[in-house]
Amino acid sequence: MRRAAPRPLLTDQRGSAVALALALLFALAGMTLLGFFAAHADLLVALQRKKERELFFVEEAVLHIALSSLNDRESSPLPGEVLTSPPGAYSTETQEGTFSGWKYAWRASLLPDLVDEDGDPATPSLLFSRAFGYEGSPFASGGPAVVRIDVIAGQKTRRGALTAEIAPLSMTPSIEAAWTSAGPLSLEGKIVVSGLNHCFEGEHLPAPAEDAAGILSRGTVLPGEDVIVAGAPGKAVLVDPGLEPGNDPLAFLNPGETLSSLDALSSPGGHGEMLEGMTYAPEGYQGPMDGEGLLIVHNPRYDPLLYEASRRALEEGVFLPEYDPGYSHLDPDCQPAVLEIVSGGDFRGVIVADVVGSVFERTRVVGALVTLGRSPASVRAEAELEVLFSRDAVGKACRGPLAHRLSFKSLPGTPERLARMGMKPDWAR
């Protein structure tokens, strides 16, 4: 009987190597598959986040569409009077449209107050009494009216919802004169300043209790022989050395938390365009005066107190406590912004300017004028300038557009949530 010859050692080693290679191959394949699945999962997450961001940007764009519509002076679905004299629970009609292939709908509603002001459930106030209300607010609940905007947007099977709480830009200046001047004032030419109360159109209202001073100044007022100044009895011109109108427009205008920077305001229109709404001209203004609203002409680097202290120190040798050697009234960047009235017109509202220059065309301001400069200022009118006090015009000028977001959140656009929002157009069903 013959014995089987033993297998060579080399054959065993080759088999082990093949098995090891196969094991490594399977391991690599498994790792590759795991990496593929992980990458696929990451891709799915990235795609989902991309879709969510895209939906959010669409919702935000629709919110801006809603704000633009609400602020349209001619066709706003939210009447301006409901912000100050609410007629009861108020909501606009649902507005629908399309945007870049998306369908959307939005609606604006006044939020109910948190507290029933008079304890009578039949007459609840509709103004919000929240912490963003500002001291001295003329509104019943201590703050501006709050509007909730509900937005839904959809495309095929994707839909989302958004809710934002919006308040109007609001100012509460304490204006008690047709012209408030923070410094000495010299007037020459055809200038009429009346603190008698006028309506929005400039007609005199015979209500003595509403009349104010013609000119209220922190320094001396020198009216020329052609200048006419009228006011409540004994208040044609009032000089009050303790007058503190503030060093910048926001300090004077007393904005609520809905406005923290003048940069949030738009620039005045181009040549030939009417002034409208709240506008800010940091480099001065020489355009037409026709229009209404709030016009702020102020260089943010100009500080009236520091400027006057520098002027007196360098020109008169008088050093005031506010003097700062690092701030020079000779610095070109620190010069006051000038309202130079080259093109006249009729303006209804409030003008706050560092200084007023010359007047070359007939101009009428119905509302109030404020100049912030502490240094002596000279205004000469080559054509007639009228400044007529109007509480009505001041009130309208200091209620700006719905622009600031008090809160903003994106919500799942489920059918249940849309139903609770009371908005469910056909395409969202």
Domain extent listing, the chain = 61-170+401-428, 177-299+336-397
Residue type at position 287: G
Instruction: Record the pTM.
Output: 0.75
- Percent of the chain clearing pLDDT 70 (strictly above): 77
pLDDT of 407? 75
Q: Which residues contact 133 (CB under 8 A, 6 or more apart)?
A: 139, 141, 142, 143, 144, 256
Least confident of 187-196, 248-257, 357-366: 248-257
* Amino acid 13: pLDDT: 59
> 351 and 365 in contact (C-beta within 8 Å)?
yes
> Which residues have a Cβ under 8 Å from the Cβ of 71 and sit 6 or more positions away?
401, 402, 403
CA gap 143, 353 in Å, rounded: 27
- CA separation, residue 90 to residues 132, 189, 316, 408 (Å): 22, 51, 62, 21
Question: With contact defined as beta carbons under 8 Å apart, do 196 and 208 qualify?
Answer: no
Return phi, psi of residue 292, to 5°: -155, 160
Q: Is the model more confident about 423 or about 361?
A: 361
Binning pLDDT at 50, 70 and 90, where does residue 65 land? very high
For residues 395 and 198, give the distance between their C-alpha atoms in angstroms, rounded to a whole number: 12
Q: What confidence tier does 302 reach under pLDDT thresholds 50, 70, 90? A: very high
Pick the more confident residue, 406 or 327.
Answer: 327
pLDDT tens per residue across span 151-160: 999 887 788 8
Hey, what amino acid is at 169?
L
Q: What is the pLDDT of residue 190?
A: 94
Asked if 252 and 245 touch (Cβ cutoff 8 Å), the reply is yes
Which is more confident, 268 or 88? Answer: 268
Q: Is the pLDDT of residue 138 over 50?
A: no
Rounded CA separation 207/209 (Å): 6
Mean pLDDT over residues 400-417, rounded?
76
Name the amino acid, one letter, at 273. Answer: E
Range in 57-61, 64-68, 422-426 the model is least confident about: 422-426
pLDDT value of position 178: 96
Q: What does the radius of gyration of the chain's CA atoms come to, in whole angstroms?
A: 34
DSSP per-residue string spanning 104-149: EEEEEEEPPPSS-TTS-TTS---S---TT--TT-SSTTSS---EEE
For residue 306, how many other CB atoms are within 10 A of its CB?
20
CB 237 within 8 A of CB 250: no
Q: Kind of pairing, strands 345-353 and 147-155?
A: unpaired
Max distance between CA atoms of the chain, in angstroms, equals 149
Q: What is the mean pLDDT of the chain?
A: 82
The pLDDT of residue 403: 75
The answer to whether 240 and 216 are in contact (CB under 8 A) is: yes
Tokens of 211: 């009349």
Task: Say if residues 398 and 170 touch (Cβ distance below 8 Å).
Answer: yes
